[in-house]
């Protein structure tokens, strides 16, 4: 046999041996080795409904054993608790036919922050600057401010309210680590049913300078209330496809606003302009372009099509995304996917919206129970399910250093 043939058969033998080594042996594949590099990243949850649910019969359990939900979330790896605050939400008591207690007002938020901090969580306080929900299409003026007619008075009102709220929380040892100025302010604030003489803050109609002047007053109040304490200020827009336009206008001169974090909502069943596979590059590009930290402030995904009460669910009518069925495993895996995209893009964190909104006798403006129980991290018996395990999976893979 010539040397060439010997070499050929030897190479063929090695190749066949390697192919045999690669065949399925029936053993479980090895888990990917953990990354050596430490990662600064926050796993968060919006827990704004917890107090109201507990007051109205909601029960949370782990393995069939009833437990405090704040502790459940902390032990599941939640590092950051987000709470919304409304100016004077009288309706949250009126829907029960009474005058008190209110929910998501200062007193309720004080209670929530205290419980979350006692479990070791940091706090993100979300100022809606409204008596009710604020979102891209709804930015209602607080009833107490509807008679305002000058921009200067509005600036002072938002400054005083923000400052007094934070100073009060600080006096109780409950100062938040993060403050969000407005909620999903895609078109600005205070434009829903605004009186004719109310200052114009709808940025979709070009009123950027008015909006920025009011935003600046709120940011000044945050820093004045914090004193020398470190605090991060966030502005929040729904759907990452809007980030370029919004922050290009918001960060431009004149009247530049000082802030730290770009926040966005990303519900992949709704916000389809940027797909899951495009999320990492989109976030990385925005972070680089504006030289700001970036955080996903809201997201969610269903684990079932079923419901646990008569309140129609918000999600479930849409087709599931490819590779992510409406199962507990599908919910967990999409959270792993989005979290890894944020981590790889250099994002600061990811917050799941209302993972504790289980069925109970709780009421809101549209129904009794929950329109979100099929997106929660609890089954219909109130037990924590494995959808929440994405945090532990990623903590095992990455050296998370909050």
- The phi and psi torsions of 38 (rounded to 5 degrees) equal -70, 145
DSSP annotation of 314 reads S
Integer Cα distance of 45 and 61 in angstroms: 17
283: left (phi over 0), alpha (psi -120 to 50) or beta: alpha
Phi, psi of 139 (to 5 degrees): -135, 75
The residue from 280, 298, 333, 340 that is catalytic is: 298
Tokens of 299: 């997201």
Q: Answer yes or no: 184 catalytic.
A: yes
Helix (H) or strand (E) holding 14: helix 3-22
The question of whether 298 is a catalytic residue gets the answer yes
Largest CA distance in the chain: 100
Token readout for 40 is 């600064």
**Sign of torsion over alpha carbons 145, 149, 152, 153:** negative
- The catalytically annotated residue of 140, 184, 280, 373 is 184
Please, which contacts does 148-157 make with residues 24 or more away whose CB atoms are closer than 8 Å? 148/198, 148/199, 149/195, 149/197, 149/198, 149/199, 150/199, 151/199, 151/210, 151/213, 151/214, 154/190, 154/198, 154/199, 154/214, 155/213, 155/214, 155/216, 155/217, 156/217
For 20, 122, 276, 328, 391, the CA distances from 396, given in Å and listed in that order, are 31, 21, 22, 20, 9
**Alpha helices (H) in 83-234, listed in sequence order:** 91-94, 106-118, 151-171, 208-226
Q: What's the length of the chain? A: 402
Residue in the structure block whose two tokens are 């006692």:
118
Distance CA 196, CA 219 (A): 27
- Residue that the structure tokens 């981590």 belong to: 343
Q: Evaluate whether 264 touches 237 at the Cβ level (below 8 Å).
A: yes
Sign of torsion, CA 155 156 157 163? positive
77 touches 351 (CB < 8 A): no
Catalytic residues: 184, 298
């Amino acid at each position: 046999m010539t040397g060439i043939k010997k070499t050929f058969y030897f190479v063929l033998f090695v190749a066949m041996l390697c192919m045999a080594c690669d065949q399925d042996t029936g053993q479980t594949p090895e888990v990917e080795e953990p990354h050596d590099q430490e990662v600064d990243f926050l796993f968060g949850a919006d827990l704004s409904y917890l107090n109201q649910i507990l007051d109205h019969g909601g029960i949370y359990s782990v393995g069939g054993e009833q437990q405090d939900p704040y502790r459940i979330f902390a032990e599941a790896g939640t590092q950051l608790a987000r709470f919304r605050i409304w100016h004077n939400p009288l309706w949250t008591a009126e829907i029960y036919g009474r005058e008190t207690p209110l929910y998501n007002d200062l007193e309720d938020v004080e209670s929530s922050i205290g419980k979350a901090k006692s479990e070791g969580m940091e706090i993100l306080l979300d100022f809606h600057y409204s008596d009710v929900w604020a979102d891209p299409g709804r930015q209602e003026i607080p009833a107490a401010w509807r008679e305002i007619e000058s921009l200067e008075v509005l600036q002072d009102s938002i400054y005083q309210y923000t400052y007094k709220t934070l100073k009060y929380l600080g006096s109780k040892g409950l100062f938040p680590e993060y403050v969000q100025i407005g909620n999903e302010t895609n078109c600005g604030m205070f434009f829903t049913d605004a009186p004719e003489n109310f200052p114009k803050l709808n940025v979709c109609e070009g009123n950027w300078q008015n909006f920025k002047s009011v935003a600046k007053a709120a940011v000044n109040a945050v820093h004045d209330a914090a004193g020398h304490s470190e605090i991060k200020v966030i502005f929040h827009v729904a759907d990452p496809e809007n980030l370029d336009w919004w922050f290009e206008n918001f960060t431009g001169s004149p009247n530049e606003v000082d802030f730290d974090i770009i926040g966005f909502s990303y519900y992949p069943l709704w916000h389809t302009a940027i797909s899951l596979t495009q999320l990492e590059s989109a976030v990385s590009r925005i972070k680089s372009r504006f030289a700001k930290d970036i955080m996903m402030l809201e997201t969610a995904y269903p684990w079932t099509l079923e419901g646990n009460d008569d309140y129609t669910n918000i999600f479930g009518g849409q087709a599931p995304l490819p590779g992510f069925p409406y199962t507990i495993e599908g919910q967990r895996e999409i959270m792993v996917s989005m979290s890894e995209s944020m981590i790889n893009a250099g994002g600061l964190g990811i917050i799941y919206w209302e993972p504790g909104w289980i069925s109970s006798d709780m009421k809101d403006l549209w129904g009794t129970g929950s329109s979100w129980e099929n997106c929660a991290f609890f089954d219909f018996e109130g037990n924590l399910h494995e959808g929440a395990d994405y945090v532990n999976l990623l903590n095992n893979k990455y050296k998370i250093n909050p």
